[in-house]
């Protein structure tokens, strides 16, 4: 999922050369750890506050405690995480849940084993004069071109009582911030935890309409995935990685400042104030509904998501959640 704007992409790409390289796991000084099993994890995008739980797990060596050496990999512009999983080039990948649904519909045998965030991150960000999504009828809204964008727009506008069919759209790629600032578009689909926070901080007045407030369930936007073969043949390995990440995100929920420090100390080029601001808004998204365990993929939530996914046309057939998701690797 490509969530960051082009300027951040350039900055983060530079940071990777010095911070992450091909693998971003950490080890105690002088330790060779021959008993640890390598576990490669592909992020959904360049490191940002959403990944703070992963970097806290590395900083505190939760991976080693679970018998694995976590190797965090950062995707390039042309990286296809689904294909990398299929080809066994990585053990795990964080996927946008819509990309997982599309991959499943195309016959890829992937399984979601843990929720990274428990809320939708999608939103429609509008110019200050538009105080309701319904007011966007007759105006032009920028979309990135991702399959889920139109679904998000229809859900938000329709959920506010407007007619989505009367909203004009233009494909702007990932230029929501500059196109909104230049007033090229009345609104744009973007992520409230990224572009939304940036815009409302730098230029107060923009209205951020979160998807979950308009006809969408509180589904997990990002999911840790593995192949069905990995899940079936090596469940202890999958469990070790899931437990590692659950511990990391649980630590961030309890102490967000520790998450900020872990991320910014391991990835150069990130501005601490920006990460702190993003994480302050995101930390609730790491927390499951109804006090469920961190990482929960609750059946009721997933059923509501599957109906929404089909209703708004991201996939044609309702996803089989029993085949696509499992909670058996979460700590009991």
DSSP 241-255: HHHHHHHHHHHHHH-
Statement to judge: residues 114 and 127 lie in one domain? no
Q: Which domain holds residue 173?
A: 122-213
User: What pLDDT shows up at residue 33?
Assistant: 58
Would 332 be classed as within a structural domain? no
> Which of 213, 248, 279 corresponds to the end of one domain?
213
Residues near 313 by Cβ (< 8 Å), separated by ≥ 6?
150, 151
Does this model's pTM top 0.85? My answer is yes
Contact 112, 225 (CB under 8 A): yes
Taking the CB of residue 332, how many other CB atoms lie within 10 A of it?
4
What are the C-alpha distances in Å from 157 to residues 88, 209, 327? 41, 9, 33
Mean pLDDT of 218-238: 97
Is the pLDDT at 90 greater than 60, yes or no? yes
3 state SS of 48: coil
Residue 297 has a pLDDT of 95
Integer Cα distance of 11 and 278 in angstroms? 17
Of 194, 213, 232, the one marking the end of a domain is: 213
> Confidence class of residue 15 from pLDDT cuts 50, 70 and 90?
very low
Residue 138's pLDDT band, with cuts at 50, 70 and 90, is: very high
pLDDT digits (tens, 9 = 90+) for 252-261: 999 999 999 9
| Contact predicate 133/126, CB 8 Å | yes
> Is 223 found in the same domain as 115?
yes
For residue 29, the model assigns a pLDDT of 37
Structural domain includes residue 153: yes
Residue 329 located in a structural domain: no
Region 218-224: mean pLDDT is: 96
Residues 244 and 208 in one domain: no
330 domain residue, yes or no: no
CA angle 244, 43, 202 (to 5 degrees): 110
The overall average pLDDT reported for the chain is 90
Statement to judge: residues 114 and 193 lie in one domain: no
Do 15 and 114 reside in the same domain of the chain?
Answer: yes
The rounded Cα 52 to chain-centroid distance in angstroms is: 12
Neighbours of 98 (CB within 10 A): 23
**pLDDT, position 78:** 81
State the angle between helix axes of 256-266 and 272-282 in degrees (0 to 180), rounded to the nearest 10: 140
What is the three-state SS of 312-326? CCCCCCCCCHHHHEC
Q: Which of 76-85, 235-244, 276-285 has the lowest mean pLDDT?
A: 76-85
- How confident is the model at residue 215, as a pLDDT? 87
59 and 18 both lie in a single domain: yes
Residue 238 in domain: yes
Largest interatomic CA distance in the chain: 64
**Domains in the chain, number:** 2
Let me know if residue 138 belongs to a domain.
Answer: yes
Beta carbons of 322 and 300 less than 8 angstroms apart: no
Last residue of one domain, picked from the residues 177, 194, 213: 213
pLDDT of the residue at 158: 97
Residue 296 backbone phi and psi in degrees, to 5: -60, 140
- The pLDDT value recorded for residue 289 is 79
Whole-angstrom CA distances from 177 to 43, 145, 251, 275, 313 are 23, 15, 32, 18, 26
What pLDDT band is residue 317 in, cutting at 50, 70 and 90? very high
**pLDDT beyond 80 at 226:** yes
Confidence grade of residue 21 (pLDDT, cut at 50, 70, 90): very low
Question: In angstroms, what CA-CA distances link 220 with 57, 78, 248, 265?
Answer: 20, 24, 17, 27
Whether residues 160 and 303 fall in one domain: no
- Residue range 195-212: mean pLDDT, rounded: 94
Q: What is the mean pLDDT of residues 73-94?
A: 94
pLDDT > 50? residue 106: yes
- What is the token pair recorded at 96? 């946008």
Whether residues 71 and 163 share a domain: the answer is: no
Q: Determine the average pLDDT of the residues in 138-160.
A: 96
């Amino acid at each position: 999922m490509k969530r960051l704007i082009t300027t951040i992409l350039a900055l983060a790409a530079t940071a990777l050369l010095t911070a992450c390289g091909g693998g971003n796991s950490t080890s105690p000084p002088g330790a060779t750890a021959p008993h640890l099993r390598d576990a490669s994890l592909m992020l959904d995008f360049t490191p940002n506050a959403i990944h703070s739980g992963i970097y806290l797990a590395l900083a505190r060596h939760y991976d080693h405690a679970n018998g694995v050496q976590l190797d965090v990999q950062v995707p390039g512009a042309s990286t296809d995480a689904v294909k990398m999983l299929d080809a066994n080039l990585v053990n795990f990948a964080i996927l946008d849940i819509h990309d997982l649904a599309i991959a499943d519909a195309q016959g890829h045998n992937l399984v979601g084993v843990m929720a990274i965030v428990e809320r939708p991150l999608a939103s429609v960000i509008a110019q200050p004069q538009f105080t309701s999504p319904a007011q966007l009828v007759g105006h032009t809204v920028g979309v990135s071109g991702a399959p889920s964008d139109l679904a998000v727009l229809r859900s938000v506008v329709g959920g506010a009582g407007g007619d989505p069919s009367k909203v004009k759209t233009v494909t702007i790629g990932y230029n929501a911030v500059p196109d909104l600032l230049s007033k090229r578009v009345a609104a744009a689909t973007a992520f409230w935890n990224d572009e939304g926070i940036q815009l409302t901080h730098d230029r107060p007045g923009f209205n951020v309409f979160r998807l979950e407030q308009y006809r969408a369930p509180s589904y997990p936007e990002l999911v840790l995935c593995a192949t069905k073969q990995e899940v079936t043949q090596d469940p202890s390995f999958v469990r070790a990685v899931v437990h590692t990440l659950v511990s990391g995100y649980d630590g961030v929920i309890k102490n967000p400042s520790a998450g900020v420090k872990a991320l910014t100390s391991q990835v150069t080029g990130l501005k601490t104030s920006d990460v702190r601001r993003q994480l302050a808004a995101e930390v609730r998204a790491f927390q499951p509904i109804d006090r469920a365990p961190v990482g929960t993929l609750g059946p009721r939530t997933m059923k509501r998501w599957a109906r929404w996914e089909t209703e708004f046309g991201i996939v044609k057939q309702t996803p089989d959640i029993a085949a696509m998701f499992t909670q058996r690797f979460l700590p009991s």
